[in-house]
Amino acid sequence: MGELLKINNVGYTYHSLDGETTALKDISFHVNDGEFLAIVGPSGCGKSTLLSLIAGLISPDTGEILIDGKNLKSSGKNIGYMLQKDHLLEWRSTQKNLTLGLEIQHKLTDSSYVCINEMLSTYGLITFRNSKPSSLSGGMRQRAALIRTLLLEPDILLLDEPFSALDYQTRIEVSDDIWGIIRKEHKTAILITHDISEAMPTKLLFLFST
């Protein structure tokens, strides 16, 4: 199990008209291939900022982020980002929502459909493939959103409180499902959570407010 992601002394400050907010200061840790890291910490300690940095949406002010020993942008690795909301489009069927990312990246082929069908069956969505997202339960929507992300074959999967929009009972059921899927697909994953009991991480990172 090699070192896949390395965060070295990373810092980030937001600049706005109201002034500067230092979100992260001197953060270092690493994630091995196949590891499942959960990030916990109080509101405002910089958890979402850290995921945005790893996703390459923003760049660190200090320090460096390395994937397989290379700079994030030149590593050629795929980062999948699953947000709090599922962002399924109501005007597309469930299956057409799953293919959206592949379509945008011009990677949708006949063999993609073999893989999509397999995942729809495995994860209990096959009979809903032609249904609109509004006819899916909250848990089914989260599974659909995860499959959509996995189809892009991410090397690292980032999850920003993926269950926060679900009620307590559904959250317990869905979180078991989702971790099962991540384990089955052998994904390296980083999760932000307020509730450590909803995940069974192999590693924990506690962030404190700056």
Q: Would you tell me which residues interact with ligand ATP (CB under 6 A)?
A: 14, 16, 21, 23, 41, 43-49
Nearer Cβ to ligand ATP (27/189): 27
With respect to ligand ATP, which residue has the nearer C-beta, 48 or 62? 48
Instruction: Classify residue 37 as left (phi > 0), alpha (psi -120 to 50) or beta.
Output: beta
The residue (of 53 and 140) whose beta carbon lies closer to ligand ATP is 53
Contacting residues for 96 by C-beta, under 8 A, at least 6 apart: none
For 202, residues 6+ apart whose C-beta sits below 8 A from its C-beta are 35, 36, 37
Is the sign of the CA dihedral 169, 172, 174, 177 positive or negative?
Answer: negative
CA–CA distance, 19 with 177 (Å, rounded to integer): 42
The DSSP secondary-structure symbol of 170 reads: H
- Shorter beta-carbon distance to ligand ATP: residue 16 or 74: 16
Q: Counting Cβ atoms within 10 Å, is residue 83 exposed (0-12), middle (13-18) or buried (19+)?
A: middle
- Other beta carbons less than 10 A from residue 165's beta carbon: 14
Q: How far is the CB of 24 from ligand ATP (least distance, A)?
A: 8
Q: How far is the CB of 54 from ligand ATP (least distance, A)?
A: 12
CA 142, 148, 151: angle at the middle one, nearest 5?
Answer: 140
Min separation Cβ 79 and ligand ATP, Å: 17
CB of residue 45 vs ligand ATP: minimum separation in angstroms? 4
Nearer to ligand ATP, 119 or 205 (CB): 205
Least gap, CB of 62 to ligand ATP (angstroms) = 16
